[in-house]
Structure 1
Amino acid sequence: MKISKSLNLGLLALAGLAFACGGGEKAAETTAPEASTPAAAPAQEISLEEKYKDDPIYIKGIEKIKASDCMTCHMVERKIIGPSYAEVAAKYENTEENVTMLAGKVIAGGAGVWGEVMMAPHPSISEEDAKDMVRSILLLKK
């Protein structure tokens, strides 16, 4: 009977020691990866439309763009037939001189600046509306 008690006591002590030693290491392993996970997450990039959605100049111009046929050939961040608005904004500085020049191109149409595909003229768009459209486009810097 004494051997049995001693054996049980020894096994119990061995089990306690094994449990105590093993448990501490697992806690450290579990904590470390969790701490580094949020830092490794990439920042989510927002679209230009989202970035400028509350800007009154952008809102005024984009409403006029959407009311015309501009979106048939142009998109904000992706080239389809003509350049994207982001490409136009990257090429031209946002100055009143460029706004006037580009508004004239919107009204008169033309080809050669972005390739040989001609931009259709838009004589029914007023100069002021064309300038509002161009001002909203030139905001779209990345």
Structure 2
Amino acid sequence: MNKYIALFALLSIFSCNKNLESDKESNVMLEEPAFKVLDSAAANKHEGLALIEGADCLTCHKIDSRVVGPSYQEVADKYTDADIDMLATKIIEGGKGVWGEIPMSAHKGMSEANAKKMVEYILTLKK
């Protein structure tokens, strides 16, 4: 069991720390297909959550616990609606230093509109 946990942790770190700037294209889904969003809407899911589930975000972030990066609830508690543009830019460009020294991968192919929908969902988790 412990070796599986260690293996998962290693895979998570490597996938989140992959230098996407040297790649011409990332493995991140650039635009969410309409049918997935519609399926999520039918299931009463926030569109931002559907986009998060379709990208690689849940490899490093969870709703209520830290993995490699902060939990979405921690992010929601720290920021407000006034920070939506800044946070969307962080998702697209990546960064490090706010939550520690492990960098968040850039998602250069993601649209600003989709990044904002993701942030809007995250901010709904404020306690």
- Once residues 94 and 118 of structure 1 are traced to their aligned partners in structure 2, the CA distance between those partners, rounded to angstroms, is 23
Name the CA distance, whole Å, in 2 between partners of 1:91 and 1:124. Answer: 26
Judge conservation of contact 1:110–1:118 (CA < 8 Å) in 2.
Answer: yes
Task: Specify which of 69, 75, 87 is matched with residue 74 of structure 2.
Answer: 87
Query: Which structure: larger Rg?
Result: 1
Asked which structure has the greater RCO (Cα within 8 Å, sep 6+), the reply is: 2
The separation in 1 between residues aligned to 2:74 and 2:81, in whole angstroms, is 13
> Percent same amino acid among aligned pairs?
48
Q: TM-score, normalised by structure 2?
A: 0.64
Determine the structure 2 residue equivalent to 1:109: 94
Question: Structure 2 matches for 1:1-142, cutoff 5 A?
Answer: 59-95=46-82, 98-142=83-127
Q: What SS does the aligned partner of 1:104 have? A: helix
Tell me, in whole angstroms, the C-alpha distance in 2 between the residues paired with 1:102 and 1:141: 15
Structure 1 contact 106–122 (Cα < 8 Å) conserved = yes
Give distance in 1, aligned partners of 2:115 and 2:80: 17
Which letter does structure 1 place at the counterpart of 2:106? P
Deviation at 1:110, TM superposition (A): 0.5
Q: Offset at 1:81? A: 0.2
Shift of 1:94: 2.3
SS at match of 2:46: helix
More helix by share: 1
Q: Give the TM-score taking structure 1 as reference length.
A: 0.58
Q: CA deviation at 1:124?
A: 1.2
CA RMSD between the two structures: 1.8
Matched residue pairs, number? 86
Unaligned runs of 5+ in 2: 1-41
Gaps of 5+ in 1: 1-53
Rounded to whole Å, the distance in 2 between the matches of 1:93 and 1:127 is 18
Cα distance in 2 for partners of 1:132, 1:114 equals 22
